[in-house]
Amino acid sequence: MHRVFWGNTVNEYLWCVGILIIGVLFRQLLSKLFSWIAYKVVRQYSDAEIGFTKFLELLKKPFSFLILILTVYFAFSQLKFPAQWNMASADKWGMHMFLLRLMHTLIIISFSWIILRIIDFIGLILIFKAQQTESKADDQIVPFIKEGIKILVMIVSMFTILGAVFHLDITSLIAGLGIGGLAIALAAKESLENLIGSFTIFLDKPFLVGDLIKVGEIEGNVEKIGFRSTRIRTLEKTFVTVPNKKLVDSELDNLTNRQLRRVKFDIGLRYDTPIETIDNIIVEIKEIIENDPLHTEEASVYFFEFKPSSLIIRVLYFANTNVWSDYMLMRQRINYKVIEIVKKNKADFAFPSNTVILESPHNKIDETIKSS
């Protein structure tokens, strides 16, 4: 046991291998144990819907990674570099210092990862509770604060690594960042504008999470408002990420806040439709619209204009709903009834057509050919 090979005894090699084997074999069990201990701290704030299973799902990987790093660290700390390698000591630059600082950095990153996942879990709890309230403001503020705290944790972790591992003067470093702040601001101009845009959205509240909005050609429901961008689920179910700067600078229509939805369309009738028939169609269309349960105010149905191949009836009404499916069903009901009314009055819809008159060279035969 005390025989020496490469600067270490057999006993030290066995300790190294034993720690590695124990750490690898019991890594999953230890990660669950540490997750349960951490869960006890936040359990009183948890909910039946978000329990230990979700907590373990979030914390399993970071705890497993931490245990693996600690296992490797303690295992190889039992060994010494062989003297014949002429390795520099840990306080001088060399392989020994590099490996030691690498391990310390990974340990700090592991702890930071665990803290970030705990913040995610607390955020899930708060979001779940916010969804139980009628107000949408808390649905928006919880993810915003969560992301802010996570960014703060990452900044603290970075400075901890620079100070504790690389022994840099943090005070001087922060002062140096102040001097280079202008250059950083210019380089990150777009990101800063998006960050300012997120605060503008948060304070001014032009929309909230869950609102149906339209920005340019993009129309959909807001799913998340972040520091840099806002995520929108469009009506086609695609997922669009829009920079906050664009939302602040562009004309934004909050469709959720409108009380009514306007519907406007034209009906084209053939030119041979009698005036009496057109009057009957107008009266009946107006009647079926005003009798619809979702209609509000007075419907406008008028003979509007002459088109090259049709007589145009313009229909304008408002749907008293903010629900997209109800709005579309109302339009469908009325469209079906418009078709029934036109057919019932023995009229027909016009389609683009031209009338061509051919005259013989001797003015004896006139023929009219209709083509479409």
Domain 261-344, CATH: 3.30.70.100
Q: How far apart are CA 222 and CA 209, in angstroms?
A: 5
C-alpha dihedral sign at 347, 351, 352, 356: negative
Q: What tens digit of pLDDT does each residue of 34-53 get?
A: 888 888 877 766 665 567 77
**What tokens appear for 348 in the block?**
């027909």
Query: Model-level pTM?
Result: 0.58
Number of other CB atoms surrounding residue 290 within 10 Å: 14
Under-50 pLDDT residues of the chain: 364-372
Question: Given this model, what pLDDT does residue 370 score?
Answer: 45
In this structure, the chain runs to a length of 372
Please tell me the predicted confidence (pLDDT) of residue 287: 93
Q: How many CB atoms sit inside 10 A of residue 334's CB? A: 21
The set of residues, in sequence order, having a beta carbon less than 8 Å from that of 138 and lying 6+ positions away, is 130
- CATH number for 189-254: choose from 3.30.70.150, 1.10.274.10, 3.40.50.720, 2.30.30.60: 2.30.30.60
SS3 track for the chain: CCCEECCEEHHHHHHHHHHHHHHHHCHHHHHHHHHHHHHHHHHHHCECCECHHHHHHHHHHHHHHHHHHHHHHHHHCCCCCCHHHCCCCCCCCCHHHHHHHHHHHHHHHHHHHHHHHHHHHHHHHHHHHHHCCCCCHHHHHHHHHHHHHHHHHHHHHHHHHHHHHCCCCHHHHHHHHHHCHHHHHHHCHHHHHHHHHHHHHHHHCCCCCCCEEEECCEEEEEEEECCCEEEEEECCCCEEEEEHHHHHHCCEEECCCCCCEEEEEEEEECCCCCHHHHHHHHHHHHHHHHCCCCEEEEEEEEEEEEECCEEEEEEEEEECCCCHHHHHHHHHHHHHHHHHHHHHCCCCECCCCEEEEEECCCCCCEEEEEEC
Q: Report pLDDT for 343.
A: 94
Q: CA-CA distance, 222 to 215, in Å (whole number)?
A: 11
The answer to whether residues 355 and 344 touch, using CB atoms and an 8 Å cutoff, is no
The residue extents of the domains of the chain are: 4-179, 189-254, 261-344
Strand partners, 240: 232
CA nearest neighbour of 136 among 208, 216, 197: 208
Tens digits of per-residue pLDDT, 160-218?
888 888 877 777 766 666 555 555 555 556 777 777 888 788 778 888 888 888 888 88
